[in-house]
Amino acid sequence: MKIGVFICHCGSNIAATVDVKKVAETAGRMAEVVYATDAMYACSEPGQQAIEEAVKKYALSGVVVASCSPRMHEATFRRTVERAGLNRYMFEMANIREHVSWIGRDQGPNTVKAIELVRMAVEKLRLNRALIPRKLPATRRALVIGGGVAGIQASLDCAEAGLEVVLVEREPSIGGKMSKLDKTFPTVDCSSCILGPRMVDVAQHERITLYAYSEIESVSGYVGNFEVVIRKKAAYVDWDKCTGCGLCIEKCPSKKNFDRFNEGLGSAAAINIPFPQAIPKKAVIRAEDCRQFQGKKCGICAKFCPTGAINHEQQDELVTIQVGAIVAATGYDLADWTVYGEYGAGRYADVITSLQYERMLSASGPFGGHIKRPSNGEEPKSVVFIQCVASRDPSIGRPYCSGFCCMYTAKQAIMTRDHIPDSQSYVFYMDIRSPGKGYDEFTRRAQEEYGAQYVRGRVSQVYPRGNKLVVRGADTLLGSQVEVEADLVVLAVGGEGSREAAGLAEKLRISYDSFGFFLEGHPKLKPVETNTAGVFLAGSCQGLKDIPFSVSQGSAAAAKTLALLSRDMLESDPQTAQVDIKRCIGCGKCIQVCPFQAIREADLRGQSKAEVLEAVCQGCGLCNATCPQGAIQLSHFTDNQVLAEVEALLCP
């Protein structure tokens, strides 16, 4: 075998703490290495050309590049060696940047470690074999999970490009959190005026099939060929017959139930349409609120329904579809603000969340767009906004910034003055974070034109005094304690991943973090991709973001979906598990540990054996590590290849 080794300076990233030329000289003396050199930037166009020329000039049969993380540039160099005529899997990469130069400043030990990593890569490459990807057909249909603004954008972009789209939303209507907003920042224009037409476009688009009030039951298969089971939850209303006239809601005697859409500020009937612009505009009966389901005699809605749409016997329905790609756009939930007992949330009626305040401001909300104190219905003259509630607070496990709270607080302060001209708003904040276009100007406008008083400091306590609330906190700019009497206190609550995110992540076989956000494939290079091929992310399910950013990411996910499904045939990654039938004893342990359900039991001449579904296998290696007989090997990472690396490290 003829191996070429290329050591990258990476500018000064590596060369500053590693003797790159010495590493190249030492590599030249390793077994079967016929050419070794160093390059300033191996990933640059000249660097790649040098690799191609060396492969041809020295008839190389394998290449090692020692540079940065394979996660960053492995695909780049694989394409390079392929252009030079080699199989892409006759390439190995040693990470001497993140694993060496970035973690130590002593050049001597760093150089020794870099040489060891290169030697390990050379020894593994000696045992590499050419792998050939398989060609697989692709279903030209996309599934979008979540009907918020990001999911709507992804669906419309895919559909406009000619792709069939199935949009699944767990709530009775699409629209997500944006449908609950009155205005949007920094333009203070009507949220429903922006979102409404897009929702109608989804409902009327010939290539989009909408499943509202539905959830994902299971996902199987692989990129290009996913099989998805959707559970259409029983609405106890035949949506084919329902016209959304609202007569059933008007006649329903059970009207004092928790209003989910209005965040509990108002009450809702047991049968309900969430809001006037709902898509689809169909009624849903909540069984937990309905007298009929509580064993009481009722059925009034069925008696008055002019189309006979009420069906208390309706059951959940399972629908199976085939899709080629999946976009997860499941949004976010508000973090638990009740952990702040010192703020009185849940104890004092006049302490509300920012989303409740949005519903109060909205003309379609429970108060008809009038700001009222929930305790007595009076108009508040003094409103205090408390920032960073359940954000930037490690003490409750929420160390991150939610990103949009500073902006929506400024918007609400402006709207408060618009609604109540003689009111005064106070904002307790830690820092103002307004990095978007026109955002900083917007927060200044709230202060300079609308008189909002910003107090830099944390609030320590909210407590009642007479019929008012006293907000006690610190003003770190003045270096003193302050107290403000308020008629209404609004908590700018941050967000966290959807509470169903963990379950959905397991069904999609993707990763998620401790805050419930789905993990992207790479924070810079693959911001909308996941570690499962064919599954993409859009919107706040990946990390909290505002409306423009969510829309942008929805379009980005759609672009990735379209790029994937633009081909009739897809290539599968050949780095998959392989079963040695002679050694397999059919114990089934590999089936139990496989997180991708890529191994099944097969009958071979009356004997139970493991069978790998290569198209589903993601090459994680769990089966390889678990098999007691060593009957499963992972292509490109066999036991012998791994042991060769270990021996190169221990016995140079």
141-233+316-331+498-565 fold: FAD/NAD(P)-binding domain (3.50.50)
Integer-rounded Cα radius of gyration of the chain = 30
pLDDT at 524 over 90: no
| Per-residue pLDDT tens over the stretch 151-201 | 999 999 999 999 999 999 999 999 999 999 999 999 999 999 999 999 999
| Per-residue pLDDT tens over the stretch 222-237 | 899 999 999 999 999 9
- Domain coordinates in residue numbering, the chain: 3-125, 141-233+316-331+498-565, 247-304, 335-496, 577-635
Contact predicate 550/589, CB 8 Å? no
User: Distance between CA atoms of 227 and 180, rounded to whole angstroms?
Assistant: 33
Mean pLDDT (the chain, rounded): 94
Contact predicate 494/405, CB 8 Å? yes
Which of 343-380 are b and which e, b meaning 16 or more Cβ less than 10 Å from the residue's Cβ?
A: bbbeebebbbbbbbbbbbbbebbbbeeebbbbeeeeeb
pLDDT at residue 18, as a whole number: 96
* Confidence label for 295 from pLDDT (cuts 50, 70 and 90): confident
Q: Across the chain, how many H-helices and E-strands are there?
A: 16, 34
In sequence order, what are the residues at sequence separation of 6 or more whose Cβ sits closer than 8 angstroms to the Cβ of residue 444? Answer: none
3-125 fold: Rossmann fold (3.40.50)
> How many angstroms separate the first and last alpha carbons of the chain?
19
* Confidence label for 531 from pLDDT (cuts 50, 70 and 90): confident
Task: Judge if pTM exceeds 0.75.
Answer: yes
Same fold, 141-233+316-331+498-565 and 335-496: yes
As a CATH number, domain 577-635 is 3.30.70.20
* Confidence label for 503 from pLDDT (cuts 50, 70 and 90): very high
| Cα–Cα nearest to 96, from 3, 4, 5, 10 | 10
User: Distance between CA atoms of 298 and 616, rounded to whole angstroms?
Assistant: 51
User: Distance between CA atoms of 63 and 82, rounded to whole angstroms?
Assistant: 11
pLDDT at 527 over 90: yes
What's the average model confidence in pLDDT over 362-375?
A: 93
| Per-residue pLDDT tens over the stretch 373-384 | 999 999 999 999
Rounded to the nearest 10 degrees, how much is the dihedral formed by the CA atoms of 340, 414, 483, 461? 0
User: Distance between CA atoms of 244 and 211, rounded to whole angstroms?
Assistant: 17
pLDDT at residue 425, as a whole number: 97
Determine whether 67 is exposed, middle or buried from the number of CB atoms within 10 Å of its CB (0-12, 13-18, 19+): buried
Contact predicate 36/66, CB 8 Å? no
pLDDT at residue 413, as a whole number: 97
What's the average model confidence in pLDDT over 314-332?
A: 97
* Confidence label for 568 from pLDDT (cuts 50, 70 and 90): confident
What's the average model confidence in pLDDT over 66-81?
A: 93
The share of the chain scoring above pLDDT 90, in percent, equals 90
What's the average model confidence in pLDDT over 143-156?
A: 97
User: Distance between CA atoms of 115 and 29, rounded to whole angstroms?
Assistant: 11
pLDDT at 605 over 90: no
| Per-residue pLDDT tens over the stretch 242-252 | 999 999 999 99
335-496 fold: FAD/NAD(P)-binding domain (3.50.50)
Count other C-beta atoms under 10 Å from residue 383's C-beta: 25
pLDDT at 652 over 80: no
